[in-house]
Amino acid sequence: MKYLKLSDSRKAKTIITPKGVKNINMMILSVKIVLAAIFFNTTVEFVVRKLKRDKRLRKFFEIKEVPDALQISEFLSRFKVDTYLKIVNSILIQTKPLKRRRKRIFIQIQHLSI
């Protein structure tokens, strides 16, 4: 979960700022939580519930305060889908994968529900 470290970096903040996002910290939290939900094939509500219960998980995610799933949903609804996808893709591109013996992994995300 290399993206967890990168999303707090200065590079991620410089990616998010030109997109017109006022609350950068909330966007970073939202990206972390949504990507974790996608990675573990679960819902945002489930990830939020687990983060609120488990102190070690919050430490791993480097999150001090966990927003409600409704807050995340309301925050993300302010942005166009294209804007959010550009932010997330730009952050993920910054994590360069290890080069291995010509193995390619394709990830297809069809539905994103919050």
Q: Please give the average pLDDT of every successive group of 10 residues along the chain, which has 114 residues.
A: 61 78 86 88 93 90 89 90 85 66 57 54
Stated as kind and residue range, the H or E segment containing 58 is helix 55-61
pLDDT of residue 87: 84
Amino acid at 11: K
Tell me the two tokens of residue 50: 């687990």
Record the pTM: 0.73
What does the pLDDT read at residue 44?
A: 92
Interacting residues of 80 by C-beta distance below 8 A, sequence separation 6+: none
Residue 45: what pLDDT?
Answer: 94
* CA–CA gap between residue 31 and residue 114 (Å, rounded): 12
